[in-house]
Every structure is written in C-alpha cells, then in structure tokens.
Amino acid sequence: MPRPVFILEPATDAALKAGIKILAPFLPFDIAEKGKGTVLRFRKSGPGPRIMVEKDGITVIHAVACQAYRALGLMAGMVKASGKIAQILETPEFKLLNVMLDVSRNLVLRPEMVRTLLAHYALMGINSVMLYAETTYEVKGEPYFGYLTGHYRQKELEDIDTYARALRIEMFPCIQTLAHLARALQWPIYGKVRDTTTVTMVDEEATY
C-alpha cells in the first residue's frame, strides 16, 4: 500500500517547517513541499491541537508548536490504524508537559537515542525534557564521573539541546550536588570527601 503524501502549504512558518523535517523519518506518511498529494496547512490559533479535514486538504490549528507536532503524531496513529485522517480537537490542561529521563542508572543512553526519544516526545506534544544525571556528565579533572558507565560530554549536551530546540522542546539540566553521588563516591580517590556511601562531607573544602 503506497504511503500517503501531504504537501506543505508554501506559507508554512519556517521554524515549524524545520521541526517537521526532523520528524518526517518517524512518520508513516511523506511530507513534501512540492508535488501531488493532500495539502497540509498549519494555522496558529487556539484552542488546539485541532485537525480539520476539508475538501481542499487538512488544516491543523495550534496555539504553540508542540500542539502542531502532536497533531502530526495523532495523524500518524490514524494512518497506521485505518489509513484515514479524522477530525479531532484536544484542549490542553497544562502549559508545561515534561518528561524526566533518568540517565544515572546502568549505562547512559547514547546521544542518538536521546534524539530519537525527543522526536517521539515531540509527536506526543511534550515541550520540555530533563536529563537526570547524577555523575554521568563531563567534569574536567574528574575522570571518575561516568567511569565505566559512560557520560555526556559538554559538546554532546549542547548538540542534544540544539536538536530539542528545533522541536520546540526546552531541555533542563538536572544534576545532584553534595548527595546522590554513590557512583562516584565508591572509588577510593574520593575517600577524603565521602561522608556516607552517597553523601559528601559538607564542611570539607575538597568537596567544593
């Protein structure tokens, strides 16, 4: 069965178009700027997301970008289920829709997997994500942060943030200080600053 094709209206907002281009590989239909297919229009208004099936195409009403991307996710579900797009209206109850990814357990998620998750989150309408990293981020001069578990380099975090921003997802760094540091404090090199197995010595200068 051929994949449905949607043609973006030329007047589509450039930033929204850039996000749609990122999401295109994750959709069960094709989105193009030229050619034959069903016209797909995006209108910034409210409430939304709202999918309107009209004689000359499909119109998506959205107040913010995350609603437009959720509409694409809803359309993807419809295409997979029945092959047809139906009209739908959702009224969001929250402005902030957040997911916290715990990247402190076992091995860290590879950056490319984080980006894949961000794309799926965008299609759900998520607009903010936290990476919960206890000792899995780069600290210059501290090689035991992320030792044997992997960690995110500063450049990798910047790249993830850039990718998320293109999807209008706000990234929040979420780290621990003074406590929840068992993965680092298990190593003898940190014996001087260890209070308990997870907590550092508050009054020890070396802690800071």
Answer yes or no: are the C-beta atoms of 125 and 155 closer than 8 Å. no
Length of the chain as a residue count? 208
d(CA 150, CA 104): 10
pLDDT in tens, 76-127: 999 999 999 999 999 989 999 999 999 998 889 999 999 999 999 999 999 9
Average pLDDT over residues 58-87: 96
Q: In the predicted model, is pLDDT for residue 204 greater than 90?
A: yes
Tens digit of each residue's pLDDT (9 = 90 or more) over 138-195: 999 999 999 988 999 999 999 999 999 999 999 988 988 899 999 999 999 999 999 9
| DSSP H or E run through 40 | strand 38-44
Whole-number pLDDT of residue 74: 98
Sign of CA dihedral 125, 128, 130, 131: positive
Q: The pTM is what?
A: 0.92
For the record, the structure tokens of 21 come out as 């281009």
The whole-angstrom separation of Cα 23 and Cα 120 is 8
